[in-house]
Structure 1
Amino acid sequence: MEGGSWKRSGGGEKKDLFHVIHKVPPGNSPYVRAKHLQLVEKDPDSAILWFWKAINGRDRVDSALKDMAVVMKQQDRAEEAVEAIRSFRHLCSKQAQESLDNLLIDLYKKCGMVEEQIELLKQKLRMIHMGEAFNGKTTKTARSRGKKFQISIKQETARILGNLGWAYMQQNNYAAAEVVYRKAQMIEPDANKACNLGLCLMKQGRLEEARRALEDVTHGRFSGAGDGKSTKNKAEELLREIEVRPATSTPEVGLGVEDEIMERIELVLNEWVPLRSKRLPIFEEIAAFRDRIAC
């Protein structure tokens, strides 16, 4: 009797170990079948088919839609993934909407849908200002490469602003990108955003300012994930480009900085400081910069 019980327990342990190793949930539902096809059998096309079946059968819709979109992106079917999220996100829970937005931003970037990316990033800034991000909490748990870590609202805002700056750069709107990158650097400085800021300044013909921004990168004045060798190499390459540019370089004309963006960022940061009768000096500086661009 004891031996039979041990065998059953041992078989269960082996089964559980299989699910842990392959990160496949237990069961026989369409979603479980899709995950098995994705992770164990390495058959993405069949996995997508079964994710569709899971969504239509209301089987773990939150996970099924997100996982299917990720597999589609990996298969260079990003446009289909965008349409899938837009069409079926109403079936997902409120808690899943933020992660779907983050996935959409990546998909928009892959598809070259810059306008859509900018609008969604603005929306996320509005959510932060309204206290709706992170489901009303100041931090959230994120996962990367199998590890969990905490992200604060400030870190998330800096990340969103970095993405917004990059999107403006894709539109050649270097004036707007500059302001957004400067704002992001005030929240959480890093080398990658400093390098992009230097490029924005170069595109506007402000070479000395660009040089200072890029030298901050090459001199290792930042720490963190963005302070890698590739970022420093990029900064060094841009500095060499500055050296060969003529001193009489004509500033490139930007498209202007949107007042709505400036006001939104200001409102977000005001949430983190005591209310005052006047704007913080940081905002006065940015307002002055905006006026200079408008002249």
Structure 2
Amino acid sequence: MYSGFGKKGEKVHESFHVIHKLPPGDSPYVRAKYFQLVEKDPESAIILFWKAINAGDRVDSALKDMAVVMKQQDRAEEAIEAIRSFRDRCSKQAQESLDNVLIDLYKKCGMLDEQIELLKQKLQTIYQGEAFNGKPTKTARSHGRKFQVTIRQETSRILGNMGWAYMQQTNYAAAEVVYRKAQQIDPDANKACNLCLCLIKQCQYAEAKSVLEDVVEGKLSGSDESKLRNRAKELLKELELCESEPFASPVFGPSVEDAFAKGLDQLMNQWTPFRSKRLPIFEEISPFRDQLAC
């Protein structure tokens, strides 16, 4: 049994597609995947992904896959423009995954304002009950494995990414607020270390030490626990050094009110009891104004 054609036009046995995880057929998208996965020829793959998009051939997958290959080729700016220009040709179901690709591209390009704005939009999608197509979980993939992601985990992940972006802007006060909220929802060791660094930058040494203790003692999980514990120990050393310098000045970024409260805080506070799509996770997210006023 045959399914599609190879690089030189010869017929390819169906098992070939299974082995190389290629879709069946001989369309522009299939050829693009062949050059991407089998020939390891990203330039040819990108050309064929363009052809697939223009031909209306699996546009959702073609645009996303092309952007990923472009990022790998250090063509992130071009990938951003491609998604912005052609995402209206994609289905509603594909928009969330395209947003995730865009966030990675913004991060690679150092486009922090755009990254933060898109993360706020994703939070609003969750807030309005539109994330995961209205379901409490979704199936995600990583390194070829499938796993379930909950709304709680996704909300914490988005807040963690937002906190990282604020840190790159040296807006440690805003990052602290975001990381604290992320930890309330779904705590982990990586975000705890980032929160600690925000506190150190603001000379809140006692609070930073308290946050680190849970990481060092292994009370918080992480993707690489040994690496995170080592990072926590390094932060403890930095903390001890900071405490020995009493004249150290706190590092503040732009006003929290300007950079954060007008966006995320407004988003959290606009709900009324009559909004039927509100998800349970937002019942646990208290208004930020009390924290910002402290």
Q: Distance in 2 between matches of 1:33 and 1:273?
A: 43
Give the structure 2 partner of residue 216 of structure 1: 214
The equivalent position to 1:283 in structure 2, one of 269, 282, 286, is 286
CA contact (8 A) 2:126 2:151 kept: yes
Instruction: Quote the Cα distance in structure 2 between the aligned partners of 1:55 and 1:119.
Output: 27
Aligned residues: 273
> How many Å apart are 1:253 and its aligned residue?
2.7
C-alpha separation in 1, matches of 2:143 and 2:152: 22
- 8 Å CA contact 2:216–2:233 kept in 1: the answer is yes
The one-letter code of the counterpart of 2:293 is D
Instruction: Say yes or no: does 1:271 pair with 2:268.
Output: no
Letter in 1 for 2:175: A
TM-score (norm 1): 0.87
Q: Percent identity?
A: 64
Q: Cα deviations across residues 100-153 of structure 1 (Å, max 9, x unaligned)?
A: 000000000001000000000000011111111111111111111111111111
Aligned twin of 1:4: none
**Matched residues in 2 for 1:49 and 1:274: separation?**
44
Cα distance, 1:51 vs. partner?
0.4
3-state SS in 2 of match to 1:283: coil
Aligned to 1:181: 179
> Which is worse superposed, 97-106 or 231-240?
231-240
Query: What secondary structure, in the 3-state scheme, does the structure 2 residue paired with 1:180 have?
Result: helix
Question: Structure 1's 265 and 235: CA in aligned 2 closer, same or farther, altered over 3 A?
Answer: farther
Q: Is residue 2:36 matched to residue 1:38?
A: yes
TM (normalized to structure 2)? Answer: 0.87
Which protein has the bigger helix share? 1
5+ residue gaps, structure 2, are 3-11, 272-277
Return the alpha-carbon distance in structure 2 between the equivalents of residues 263 and 234 of structure 1.
34
Q: Which amino acid aligns with 2:130?
A: E
The 8 Å contact of residues 162 and 181 in structure 1, kept in 2 or not, is answered as yes
Question: Could you say which residue in structure 1 is the equivalent of 2:13?
Answer: 15
The question of whether the paired residues in 1 share the 8 Å contact of 2:36 and 2:45 is answered with: yes
State how far apart, in whole Å, the 2-side matches of 1:272 and 1:149 are: 22
- Contact 2:222–2:228 (Cα < 8 Å) also in 1: no
Cα deviation for residue 196 of structure 1 reads 0.1
Please show how residues 1-295 of structure 1 align to structure 2 within 5 Å: 15-225=13-223, 227-245=224-242, 246-257=245-256, 258-259=260-261, 260-265=263-268, 271-272=279-280, 283=286, 286-292=288-294
Contact (CA 8 Å) 1:178, 1:201: kept in 2 or not? yes
Question: Deviation at 1:264?
Answer: 2.5
**Of the two, which has the highest radius of gyration?**
1
Unpaired runs of at least 5, structure 1:
1-7
d(CA) in 1 for partners of 2:118 and 2:269?
18
For residue 236 of structure 1, report the CA deviation from its aligned partner. 1.2
**Alignment CA distance shift 1:112-1:241 (3 Å):** same
Kindly provide the amino acid, as one letter, of the partner of residue 264 in structure 1: L
Q: Following TM superposition, by how much is the alpha carbon of 1:267 offset from its aligned partner in structure 2, in angstroms? A: 6.5
Stretches (4+) displaced over 6 A: none
* Partner Cα distance (1:15, 1:147) in 2: 26
Contact 1:125 1:265 in 2 (8 A): no
Query: Given residue 213 of structure 2, which amino acid in structure 1 is its aligned partner?
Result: E
Counterpart amino acid of 2:239?
I
- Amino acid in structure 1 at the alignment position of 2:249: T
CA RMSD across the alignment: 2.0
